[in-house]
Amino acid sequence: MHHDATAEHLLSIRPATAQDNITALTQLLHRAYQRLGKMGLRYMAVDQTEAVTQERMAQGTCLLAFYQGSLCGTILLRNAQQTNGCPWYNQPQVASIGQFAVDPDLQAQGIGWRLMQAAAQLARESGAKELALDTAEQAEHLVGWYQRLGYRFIETVQWGHTNYRSVILSLKLHQETPEVRSL
């Protein structure tokens, strides 16, 4: 993972607020998912409405990434209580991420990795033991990237709103253990 030291301080990540621009966020999702849409994969984010963006944001904690002050990425963390819908997601210790996007012009610069790290930290703080996600089986570039980040295959699932079978991938969240100090 090569991180551009100059870009590092120009990137900020924070939870979304009511003041954030839903139109800009929805347009970012459309741009980021366009490649998947062209592959024939009907991800919700390919063409979801602003109302759907807001509904999905309300399902968990929506993080936004800004590069030099401009919106460039997003990820939605659902804690274990907010995660459900398939056997793995229904487990009490499993949190999940979704609605994950980085502006196509800024991909492969560590922004997605930073968003994933921020979501994992929030999941850890919420008490989750696993952080899961799902993506299209055919999106091999994404499946490979998640696997390089340490995610492992769990199961496949067919969601009602998609035209593809999804793979559920999950990462074991190692709880940071407090340092043992000798008295």
What pLDDT shows up at residue 163?
A: 82
What pLDDT shows up at residue 8?
A: 60
Pairing state between β 130-136 and 11-15:
unpaired
Give the residues across from 12 on adjacent strands: 66
What pLDDT shows up at residue 125?
A: 94
Instruction: Please give the CATH architecture assigned to the domain spanning 5-172.
Output: 3-Layer(aba) Sandwich (3.40)
- Predicted TM-score of the model (pTM): 0.88
Q: Which of 8, 23, 123 is nearest to 63 (CA)?
A: 123
Between CA 109 and CA 158, with CA 89 as vertex, the angle to 5 degrees is 85
What pLDDT shows up at residue 181?
A: 54
All structural domains of the chain with their residue ranges: 5-172
> Could you tell me if residue 92 is left (phi over 0), alpha (psi between -120 and 50 degrees) or otherwise beta?
alpha
Cα four-point dihedral sign 83, 87, 88, 94: positive
Structure tokens at 110: 């560590």
pLDDT profile of the chain (183 residues), mean per 10: 56 94 97 92 91 95 95 96 93 96 93 96 96 93 94 91 88 71 54
Q: Which of 96, 110, 103, 119 is nearest to 169 (CA)?
A: 96
